[in-house]
Structure 1
Amino acid sequence: MQDRTQLVAHARRTIARGSKSFAAASMLFDRVTRERVWLLYAWCRAADDLADAQDMGGDLGDQSEAEARLATIRERTALALAGQPTGDASFDGLGVVAAECGLTQAMCDDVIAGFAMDAADWRPRDRDDMLQYCYHVAGAVGVMMAKVMGVPDDDGDTLASDTLDRACDLGIAFQLGNIVRDLWEDDAAGRCYLPVEWLVEADIPPGQHMKPIYREPLVAMVQQACLLARTYEASARIGAARLPFRSRWAILSATGIYGAIARKVEDAGEHGWDHRAFTSRFEKLGHVAGGLRASMAPPPEGCAEQAKGRPLTRLGFAERAREKGYAA
């Protein structure tokens, strides 16, 4: 197994290839936190790629062996958490950051449950199902990232518990943005993360939502999803204010970058999928500057009130997961 320095170098290359937006924001963390963030990101990226038979989030590969790939993710993750070599630097890196920051099997299982939902060709029935998926593939990652940034366990600590809730909320906001941005790519891969109830109410037949004739109702659904994203983002800004300065700056910069992508899709209306929305290097620098300003001020007025509109929070997602049998 490679040593920590080699694993960090591998993780840095991974985030540089896998997410230019998060790679840019990650440079704002202090060195120790930055390296840990990279290590956690590399596991998330490797597991996601393995689950979808893809490379760095690219086109989906052959999905016929999804359950076998899911079993590999479980096996390598368990080995990593036990401090054993896995044969994969991204999973070995998870073992390092888990030991340093107290990441647990249960935390990893919450994320892997999202891959299991895709492996089962799962579709969200309603809004809460859509948010449940966002929780597993991104909200649970937000909780792990908060632990990496030094947020303590929530056992008996009300403030820590609330901060972890809001870290989860940021992941959900990011994933809602991903859903609206990637509607075209997901449709090409035979996937759709918009609630079935929304499609039925709009009289859109299954698998037809990207047809030009349905663009008007599709735009209305994107607006609903973006409104939800802003609600969760408002909550996340309250939690970010409690982080150390460098972490606060990095997270608020990432919030600006990812939020801008969702706003571009929303603002483009029926043309939101003419090309894949992204932020330019110049725009990223603007959001880094905006993140710096935001990190030196209290959360914007109205965040607390807006955050009350969240339909579900971390504990609610955990309860739904138990009730509905969503498990890694």
Structure 2
Amino acid sequence: MSETLSSPELNVDTCRTQCREMIRVGSRSFAMASMLFTSKKRDAAFFIYGWCRFCDDQIDQAKDENSALLALNQLTLRTRSAFHGEKQSQAVFFAFQHVTKTHQIPELYAQDLLLGMQMDVQQFHYESFEDLLLYCYRVAGTVGLMMTHVMGITDLRALKNAVDLGKAMQLTNIARDVQEDFKMGRIYLPESWLREKGIPPAELLSEKYRKDTYALVLRLLEHAEIFYQSGNSGLSYLPFRSAVAVSVASCIYREIGRKLRRLGPRALEQRTIIPTFRKLLLVLKGFALALKTLPGRVLAPASPVPITTLWRHS
């Protein structure tokens, strides 16, 4: 993929085409939701996603931990160079530099995301749920924070909502991908939870412990619901079209959790997906959810202000 992302003549238009294709292939749910943004915000979402996807692919394609660490180090250096104004020769970094400069996105959020990838590379052991939330902040909450700059929020309280929605989506991802992650040698379920159920990590998906493991998946989803509620409560801080796009993404991911509940322990046997026709219905649901914020917008119209607060996870 890296070869297709290089070009001697880079510009925003060529970057847009490549990043749009990356999100189309990598996440149809986000691709669908992003189409509801205004064109400039849609491009920004493409550029942020393109950088995230590229970094993730570079790590996943590494042959071993040492190779992955070397790749991560290179990604960290190249990301830093993009923030420091150095000329970029690769489309994904050219685009990322453009969006971070245009929307004054802090470098901290990108570096925090790369720290989340480092946790994967070093096969971090999640002893507690708090450890897992740190990971969720780094790999997903940071994306929410970057997007608050793109969307031009009008209330700094929206930063927490953005982080919480990112956490909710990542917890949903983890709940959905238990089997897939296990095959890659990754276990995100907190070790303290496994001990409570008496589940040996090596037997996480064995027939003997399948129901207990599924009970922990449900526990993850219960926590995710709390974060979805917080995330959705921040829709009123966003411009209306942005609120619609975010609401649709939230509804689609939330539906994954609901389907996991309906499937029961069988959910651990295969990746849960939402059919396209169902996603179209969820677009309507997301639009309806965003419509509920209209009364507040009429009574207290907001004027976008630059974000000067730097969010730090605690």
TM-score (norm 2): 0.89
Alpha carbons 1:52, 1:63 under 8 Å: kept: no
Residue 11 of structure 1 corresponds to 19
- The 3-state SS of whatever aligns with 2:99 is helix
Match of 1:148 among 150, 153, 173: 150
Q: Does 1:247 align with 2:246?
A: no
Q: Which amino acid letter does the alignment assign opposite residue 268 of structure 2?
A: W
* Aligned partner of residue 193 in structure 1, secondary structure: coil
Structure 1 residues 95-148: Cα deviation after superposition (integer angstroms, max 9, x where no partner): 000011001211111111101111221021011111111111101111111111
**Do structure 1's residue 174 and structure 2's residue 169 form an aligned pair?**
yes
CA RMSD of aligned residues (A): 1.9
Structure 1 partner of 2:52: 44
CA–CA distance in structure 2, aligned partners of residues 65 and 33 of structure 1: 35
Count of residues paired in the alignment: 292
Write the letter of the residue equivalent to 2:166. Answer: G
CA drift at 1:19 = 0.4
Q: 1:249 is matched by which residue type in structure 2?
A: V
* DSSP-derived class of the 1:87 partner: coil
Q: Which amino acid in structure 2 is aligned with residue 75 of structure 1?
A: L
Alignment match of 1:129 (pick from 127, 131, 141): 131
Counterpart in the other structure of 2:286: 291
The 2-side partners of 1:145 and 1:316 are apart by 13
Give the CA deviation at 1:206: 2.1
Please, which of 21, 28, 33 is the counterpart of residue 20 of structure 1? 28
Helix, strand or coil at the partner of 2:118: helix
Deviation at 1:62?
Answer: 4.0
How far apart are 1:88 and its partner, in Å?
Answer: 2.6
Aligned counterpart, 1:117: 119
Question: How far has the Cα of 1:52 moved from its partner?
Answer: 2.1
CA contact (8 A) 2:153 2:239 kept: no
Aligned match for 1:83, one of 79, 82, 85: 85
1:8-55 residue CA offsets vs partner (Å, 9 max, x unmatched):
11111111111000000100001111111111110111111112227x
The answer as to 2:188 corresponding to 1:193 is: yes
Percent identity over the alignment is 35
In 2, the alpha carbon distance for the partners of 1:86 and 1:264 equals 42
Runs of 5+ consecutive residues of structure 2 not aligned to the other structure: 1-8, 295-309
For residues 214 and 117 of structure 1, the distance between their equivalents in structure 2, rounded to whole angstroms, comes to: 26
Preserved contact between residue 141 and residue 167 of structure 2 (Cα < 8 Å):
yes
Q: Which amino acid aligns with 1:107?
A: Y
Query: After alignment, is 36-45 or 263-272 more displaced?
Result: 263-272
Name the structure 2 match of 1:215.
210
Q: How does 1:307-326 map to 2 (within 5 A)?
A: 318-319=313-314
**TM-score of the aligned structures, taking structure 1 as reference length:** 0.85
User: What is residue 260 of structure 2 aligned with on the other side?
Assistant: 265
Q: Which of the residues 93, 98, 101 maps onto 1:99?
A: 101
SS in structure 2 opposite 1:275? coil
